[in-house]
Structure 1
Amino acid sequence: MTEQNRKWIYLFVLSIIWGTSYILIKKGLEGFTPIQLGSARIVIAGFFLFLIGYKSLKKISKEEWKWIALSGFIGSFFPMFLFAYAETEIDSSIAAILNSLVPLFTLFVGLFAFGISFSKNQLIGVLLGLIGAAFLIFFGKGVNPNQNYWYAGFVIIATICYACNANIIKSKLQNVTPMGIAVGNFAAIIIPAIIVLPFSGFFSIQVTSGEHFWSSLGYIIILCVIGTCIAKIMFNKLVQISSAVFSVSVTYLIPIVGIFWGILDGEKFTLSQFLAALLILVGVYLVNKKKTPRKTS
């Protein structure tokens, strides 16, 4: 299989996995608070990754460890809590759509942090994407007046974190294996999560005897093993065999999967929200579109 074909397969599989993650977070929140869910995700995923890939840590140099740790906190630790908090107030399908902003912010991070230039079309794409996000939040408030759409800001912060992480992996961690990056990330963030978990009340009788404890724990385990561990390794590999912007283009398909699960779970999704989501994706398309070279006569 060629590298070109492999990167498209990775993109498709990741879109299915991550598109499903938002409904799993929503179900996990039935039995846990955002702090409990986020810290449990990190601990469970961390132990699973150590079991299958602890040997990969030996190949990480001292110089690379600081970037591995930064990648772990920016690309995993903070987003896990941010998405959990966001979904206490907004629908899982809206969170999935707003995640499409990642390529737009990846472009900005690449410009300001790494000096990567962008075209006029890409700038228009960024503006369209941000306008689409604003419309999506505005229309969402009308459809779900009982929800606090300020919490959508948590998703936007998380997308900026993901954008930073994609650029870090591409520019600083090209010599580290995808497994090494994933295991190293969680080696850096698991200790804080282990400290937070018991203080969050995760093991209290009120939580463990709750109606949704076991079902929510099951959703979290699925989310950790497939949505965090396997997907993270695949994403790291995708970044290395493609570009940072292409790799985060997985967000083209994530909203489709997220909307499907949301509607199946009884969430409302209107035509106006669909059009706002479409505007975001058009913006993402323009950001990723390459210039067609002019023909010379």
Structure 2
Amino acid sequence: MNAIRQATAFDFAKLLTLGAIWGAAFLCIKLGLEGFAPITLAVSRTLLGVVVLLILLAATGTKLPYRRRDWGWIAVIGAVNTSLPFLLIAWGQQFIGAGLASILMGAGPFVALFANHVLTHDDRITGYKVAGMILGLLGVMILVGGEALTGLTASFFGQLAIVGAAASYAASGVMTRKISHLPAASGASATLLMGAVYLLPAAFIFEAPLASRPGIAAIAAVLFLGLVSSGFAHLLRFQLIRDTGAVFMSQVSYLVPLFGVFWAWVFLGERLHVEAWIALALILSGIGISRLRRKRKARLLDEL
């Protein structure tokens, strides 16, 4: 397991990019569900993502992993990081709104915080990290609004599915560090490929994917989900976990709803209210505060 390092400005830029991509993904999932069943949607985006990453491997001359031990971890990560959360989110969003889903996904960073504290030696709980997580979640709740919480009783199983997806992503972050010695493109391709291996037979067993008759909007949504949200974003996620740790990476959950509001302003002309700016300040402050103690330690070590 490679040791993580202090996040740089470039890492923060990657985190913002992931937030921007996944901020649009929830909307695309809603559109995609109008033409595809949940498992079919999940496997379609996964296969498209695999194609993107395999092309990248061929272009760069990078090979897929070959060690049996690596593939053991990849088999587990493919299920926990790809097939399970993709399926849970697509299924859960049939019953709850995107706002409530955003709040529930905010559970992920807290799960990642405790899981990494127990299972790693260099990504431990600190007061700064806890404070940062709380600020980020508070920002999401202000952004989405208290009315989203009124849906907490509407669909228990839909909500449980989203929380399960958040926990699954958090757990997979710890596991991904087990293959952090692999090139990013290689590890990302292999785990996404395993996710497709699980989802493809499930789609044919429980649904009829070849009978889907999606419209143009649903097809466009799946193309974005596959090529950008699954393929390109999966590569960035692998890089961030490998370099900066799963806790830092998990805070993208707070940026996702913020960018969802931003895209609605850009493409739909929806007005940005003052709550959005307050949420932005809280979320970015939370991400920054969560790294303060590590910076101080690094500075002391340099002085010694």
| TM-score, shorter chain, exceeding 0.5 | yes
Question: Partner of 1:203: helix, strand, or coil?
Answer: helix
Deviation at 1:185, TM superposition (A): 0.7
Distance 1:271 1:51 in 2: 43
1:32 aligns with 2:36: yes
1:182 aligns with 2:184: no
Residues 1:104 and 1:18: Cα distance change in structure 2 (over 3 Å) = same
Counterpart of 2:24 in structure 1 is 20
Question: Partner of 1:31: helix, strand, or coil?
Answer: coil
Any unmatched runs of 5+ in structure 1?
none
Counterpart of 2:3 in structure 1 is none
Residues 1:138 and 1:275: Cα distance change in structure 2 (over 3 Å) = same
Alpha-carbon contact 1:98-1:133 (below 8 Å) kept? no
Aligned pairs for 1:147-162 within 5 A: 147-148=154-155, 150-162=157-169
- Which one of the candidate residues 107, 111, 122 is aligned to 2:117? 111
Alpha-carbon contact 2:112-2:170 (below 8 Å) kept? yes
Deviation at 1:37, TM superposition (A): 1.0
With structure 2 as the length reference, what TM-score do the two structures score? 0.76
Distance 2:50 2:165 in 1: 20
Counterpart of 2:94 in structure 1 is 88
Alpha-carbon contact 1:101-1:280 (below 8 Å) kept? no
Alpha-carbon contact 2:49-2:228 (below 8 Å) kept? no
Question: Partner of 1:290: helix, strand, or coil?
Answer: helix
Alpha-carbon contact 2:31-2:221 (below 8 Å) kept? yes
Counterpart of 1:290 in structure 2 is 293
1:191 aligns with 2:197: yes
Once the two structures are superposed, residues 119-175 of structure 1 have per-residue CA deviations (whole angstroms, 9 ceiling, x without a partner) of 356557667888999998984253x699535412211111111111111222x1121
The number of aligned residues is 287
Any unmatched runs of 5+ in structure 2?
1-5
Runs of 4+ aligned residues of structure 1 deviating over 3 Å after TM superposition are 54-60, 112-117, 119-139, 144-147, 259-267, 269-289
Aligned pairs for 1:164-183 within 5 A: 164-170=171-177, 172-183=178-189
Distance 1:223 1:176 in 2: 25
Distance 2:238 2:282 in 1: 28
Distance 1:215 1:133 in 2: 28
Alpha-carbon contact 2:42-2:86 (below 8 Å) kept? yes
Distance 1:257 1:127 in 2: 19
Q: Residue 148 of structure 2 aligns to which amino acid in structure 1?
A: G
Aligned pairs for 1:53-72 within 5 A: 53=57, 56-72=62-78
More deviation, 155-164/116-125: 116-125
Residues 1:124 and 1:196: Cα distance change in structure 2 (over 3 Å) = same
Deviation at 1:9, TM superposition (A): 1.8
1:203 aligns with 2:205: no
Deviation at 1:289, TM superposition (A): 4.9
Residues 1:273 and 1:94: Cα distance change in structure 2 (over 3 Å) = farther
Distance 1:4 1:145 in 2: 38
1:140 aligns with 2:148: yes
- Which one of the candidate residues 50, 55, 63 is aligned to 1:51? 55
Distance 1:242 1:11 in 2: 11
Deviation at 1:234, TM superposition (A): 1.1
Question: Partner of 2:210: helix, strand, or coil?
Answer: coil
Counterpart of 2:255 in structure 1 is 253
Once the two structures are superposed, residues 166-206 of structure 1 have per-residue CA deviations (whole angstroms, 9 ceiling, x without a partner) of 11222x112101111111112322223222333411212xx
1:102 aligns with 2:102: no
Distance 2:35 2:269 in 1: 19
Alpha-carbon contact 1:139-1:273 (below 8 Å) kept? no
